[in-house]
Each structure stands twice: as C-alpha cells, then as structure tokens.
Amino acid sequence: MDKLTLHEDPRSGNCYKIRLAAALLGLPLERVEYDILKGETRTPGFLAGVNANGRIPVLQIGERFLPESNAACWYLANGSALVPGDRFAQADMLRWMFFEQYNHEPNVATLRFWLHYVGRANLTEGQEAQLEAKWLAGCAALRLMDEHLADADWFVGDAITLADIALFAYTHVAEEGGAFHLADFPHVQRWLDRVRAVPGFVPMQG
C-alpha cells in the first residue's frame, strides 16, 4: 500500500474515525495537523493542494487525496474484518454510515463544535436559531441508536465494523458542550465501553 498521510484536526471526530480504523487494522498513518478554528483548511494552498471543499479529514494515499471520513475508512478497511462480506450486511453497514453523516454528525457534532469550541456567546444569529432543532434531531439520532443497541451488541452482525467506528467518534464526546446526556441512552453507553475494549483501540486524544 502507498504511504498513508492523514490531514486532520485532532479535535475532529471525523478525523479520529480514520485514526481508529487504521489502529484497529495495524496500518501506520502519518499525521499533518491543521487548526480549523484558525481557518487553516480554507487557505488557497489547502484548497488547491489537499481538498477543494475546504474540509478535513483528507486521507492522502501516495500522491492521491481522498476527502470524506467514511470514504477514507472504507479505503483502509475494504477487504478486512471491519467490513462484512455478506451483501446485505455490507449495505447495512453503509446505511449506518450514511445515517451518521446525515442524522448524527450535523446535530451531535455540530452542537459540540458550537458550544464547546466556538462558545455560545460567539454564535451567529442563524446558529442560535438552529440550536433547538439540532438538539431535538441529535436526541432522535441517539435514541434510534439506543433502540437498535437494546437488541444488539454492534450495529451490524456480531463484531465491530466501520459502522461502529463512524458512530463512536462523535457519540463518545457528545456530552462536550453540555447539549447531550449519555445517561439517557444506557445501551449506547454499554456499546461505547464495548468499542473501547476492542484490541488495538486508541483514544481520540493521544
């Protein structure tokens, strides 16, 4: 495999997904850090050379660049035990990964970013107006996960897959910023501990 370089901000759960997948797979990953709060992913150099969408993470594979956290995880894990081989199970894993990007991240991660990093006093009027809707949608996403995990140890099948990695990233730090309380979702809490106990697990900070 070509040399792997992760362009990231270590506080980003989306970036952490890729580090966690790489760690579980035993793949070495070089890291280049950017500070998104300082706009370091919106510079002309970043837009032209790394990602025209101005976002991290980007997984660099040799001279090629792959944006989108869940696509980068797929690149790393394709063919491994983190991706089920069964046709339905594989699609069902992607289903939870699309759910993560559509229903979970824009609510759970965005509220953490706004309240924990940006700070409520610094929010724009438009952001302030969205707080309640994002809180409700984030709670709905966590509740859906909790209901699924009432009957299952993992999101798909009987072992960890990329679906668990994708959903773990922002769920385990959902309380940062104060919007969400994981005690309301006990099956999610037990699943978080299950993920932390997987051999090769690495924490977000480190």
Contact footprint for a copy of itself (CB under 8 A): 52-53, 61, 64, 66-72, 74-75, 78, 87-88, 90-92, 94-95, 97-99, 101-103, 105-106, 125-126, 129-130, 132-133, 144, 147-148
User: Nearer to a copy of itself by C-beta: 68 or 175?
Assistant: 68
User: Nearer to a copy of itself by C-beta: 90 or 189?
Assistant: 90
Q: Do 174 and 108 touch, CB atoms closer than 8 A?
A: yes
User: Nearer to a copy of itself by C-beta: 68 or 176?
Assistant: 68
Q: How many CA atoms lie within 13 A of 68 on its CB side?
A: 10
Q: How far apart are the first and last CA of the chain?
A: 25
Give 88: exposed, middle or buried? Use CB within 10 Å, 0-12, 13-18, 19+. exposed
The rounded distance, in Å, linking the Cα atoms of 163 and 69 is: 12
Smallest separation, CB 102 to a copy of itself (Å): 5
Smallest separation, CB 118 to a copy of itself (Å): 15
Structure tokens at 196: 């932390």
The rounded distance, in Å, linking the Cα atoms of 4 and 27 is: 8
Smallest separation, CB 206 to a copy of itself (Å): 26
User: Nearer to a copy of itself by C-beta: 67 or 157?
Assistant: 67
User: Nearer to a copy of itself by C-beta: 126 or 199?
Assistant: 126
Smallest separation, CB 155 to a copy of itself (Å): 12
User: Residue 76: how many CB atoms within 10 A of its CB?
Assistant: 24
Smallest separation, CB 133 to a copy of itself (Å): 6
